[in-house]
Amino acid sequence: MVHADPNFGPNEMRNYLKVTGWTPVSGGDVAELWSLPGPADEVVLVPMKAGAPDFGKRTQILLADLARIEASDLTAVHDAVATVFNDVTDLRASHPSMSDGSIPLEAGYELFISAKRLRVASAAATIRRQGHFRNFPTRAREQAREVRLGQTRRGSYIVPIISQARSPEDVYSPGQEYIEVGVEETLFDRRVTATMSRALGILEDMANAEREPTPSEISDSIGEGVSYELCTALSKVVNTDSVGSLDVSFNWSRVTAPPPGTPPRVEFNQAAIDIVDRVSAQLKTRVYTSRHLIYGIVTDLSRHPEDETGRVGVQTLIKRRSRTVWMDLLDSDYHTAIQCHDAGVPVRVQGVLTSPPGGQARMQVDDFGPDPSLPAVQTQ
């Protein structure tokens, strides 16, 4: 049963119709007609006045029409429209003994708590690559308060984590001269989800390999966002007596392409968690040098023809305030910086960040390139 007052507006409905093949044919401020090409010649009405007395009723009619045309459940269509601008990460706990869609209290508690732990650990790794976070960055802890949990769904036991996403054409323009705080806040959510997906994918690959992961492979996994805290969050769910396995599905927003290199689904059973626990133990006891990550846009470029490096300014958010971070880049990275600046493509920079209060922020760069959390961008 879908609630009479939808938790979305005309913008979500119009974008959902657009990505599912519909096109507008006529309309105005009050309503629009959209058609679906094909032999049935389907037409639906989209109410455009969210404050109108009949908005809820008209929306229900639209959802019912879409459910009929798509041969889908009404609630599923409602959720798809409501989350068209969101990434939805489904955590599913399962066990052969679960037959009625319910879950024991202890297992449910661990699942909800681990949803928070997974998100915070992934947010921390989005800010700083580190094998063991004894203290999470403030921005990472805030992530658990900013994402939402959807209604639990049947299908063993599913807890949806709902986070923001954004269409790439709504981000930045070529030659952009400054970042927009609102855009960066939204993109941070997408970056955290991408980090979680890649890190869990790396752990799943380790667990499914025919041999134990080597110390070098474990060290390299930190660069993909794996941490002691992420491993622990997984372990606590699957080690609960009433849970046989945990799988995580990433349902990326339909208004933008999935980040490249992210698995759509990962699964961990008890045998996999045994490997994860061994990885976790090594991450906790070893000392690794942390590396900062910044995200933003290239706003300044300067280079003398005879110099081996070029000076680049990347505008980013540091403690949620706009700052320009300066760096010296070698020829190939400097060329990439020019391309990203000219195309309006956000960048991700990894290295050692020095940001004194009131002073100039600088970074000694280990890695520079287009932001991998966003759809792949072709550069020449």
**What tens digit of pLDDT does each residue of 216-247 get?**
999 999 999 999 999 999 999 998 888 889 99
- Distance, in Å, from the CA atom of 248 to the CA atom of 262, rounded to the nearest integer, reads 12
Residue 379: the pLDDT is: 44
Alpha-carbon Rg for the chain in angstroms? 23
| Range 3-14 average pLDDT | 83
Question: What residues have CB less than 8 Å from 191, skipping those under 6 apart?
Answer: 126, 295, 371, 373
The band of 378, judged by pLDDT with boundaries at 50, 70 and 90, is very low
Which of 55, 42, 51 has the alpha carbon at shortest distance from 3?
55
> Which range is least confidently modeled, 69-78, 104-113, 206-215, 264-273?
104-113
Average pLDDT over residues 24-30: 90
**H and E: helices and strands count for the chain:** 10, 15
Predicted confidence at residue 12, as pLDDT, reads 94
pTM of the model: 0.90
User: pLDDT class for 306, splitting at 50, 70, 90?
Assistant: confident
**Centroid of chain to Cα 27:** 35
**Could you give the CA distance from residue 35 to residue 200 in angstroms, rounded to a whole number?**
41
> Whole-angstrom Cα distance, residue 364 to residue 126?
18
pLDDT value of position 375: 73
pLDDT of residue 3: 53
